[in-house]
Structure 1
């Protein structure tokens, strides 16, 4: 009978043939060799490790011997122990970190966003600025308290940023729930613990009465503007009533001076359909001045 050493040795692992569980002794990080006799009399040996995850003991398989040597099993056990110490589950289970889940959520939403949309960058920026403590954590280990610690500092001081952070973090966890990475969305309970966000405190910009528009445009033309393209942009929006983003990204190929028509392509329209904008004399004058300013740029306002 092979004498059992205090800690496993390569010679003992190779020679032992008696069924049983042989631990690697103190400091072995829960590593053990399981020796089993099959029904046909063969001896099989496998490596297991006992670790405590979320306060519960669990057993992790590290592979069979001799495919996995003693040295390799110890190296794997050390790596698992380090993961446990960092609060992660070494079993993996395919659970992504918040950063990984956020990237996949952005990728999923990108299909419905316009090709030149700034939303992917804005979402990523929100996560970097307001979800940094979550980024390296597996999503199934993030609590409502973790989310609360991200939202609370900006909840009242930056309500706009807080609303975007809340919505975008919640979208990531909806993806996680849909993928069975966790059963719930921790954002819901986190928001329930926060005060009502500045009810009635929404600040609106003062609207300019239509009778004052002509005077405002005259003032813009007379004034010395640091960015002339910005002044032209304001005028173009006033004459065409398009959305600011549509005017800012207008291209010369979309403008037909002969028919006095500006056709905005479908990919830049919220409704996803091309839209024809009739151009009055004022809009055409703005575009002619923009043509002199833009030079070789394909964009009207650059």
Structure 2
């Protein structure tokens, strides 16, 4: 008899504590030992994860109103510029924004991680002043606890496959994929491979808008498909794309996050990024889903792109 499970059935087992949950690493050996059908019967959830650097990261913050109030149009957090084009005391700080005093050694990713760690962050804000927001300047210190709201929002994360990087030129180059040595001296890649969420659900059967995820140590959600999402790329017999394809946009409560699962990154000669920990549980609805989550690294392929050729990198 074919294995068929529903979300309600799996959630009920989770609630009563009887669900069988294994990692994407563990499931490979289980399938080899028991076969797809038996494994699908016994296992309810497979956990997947990635902890790669993602430049397309940032945080929305609300500072609360001062007295008298100000409509912030220029905002600096530890001398890192945040966006001042939202409402009066809202901002978005991007991970790659660089300090006006320290340059690429400190930036938005560091500010975000400092807030998560409970550190004080200097806020400087300026405005031309209006009748309803007469104040023109604020200088103070904030923490995550003093903020009304603080949530991490990543427009793009968990890339479904990504190109490996090489350098065929005769000089070393510095990129967001790290340092690439001249004359094809190294190849850099960035993926958690068989553990990666969208490798384990290549057709997006269980990962979509509203999916609850582990996000930097807190609960998060898939908010939308990620930027640069492209599901039309060529795929192999397992549905795995050969080139960058699906992505997910993620949102979560910054105040609840844990600095163990998020970290700033400085790429020499390139700039700032941020390592972001993401975990996605995949419910085993049927044998087809079990087959998808039992993918191995040896089954995964990608393109190798020459980053010395400045075209769409």
Q: TM-score, normalised by structure 1?
A: 0.22
How high is the TM-score relative to the length of structure 2?
Answer: 0.21
Larger Rg: 1
Q: Which has the higher contact order (CA 8 A, sep 6+)?
A: 2
**Higher share of residues assigned strand:** 2
The structure in which a higher percent of residues are helix is 1
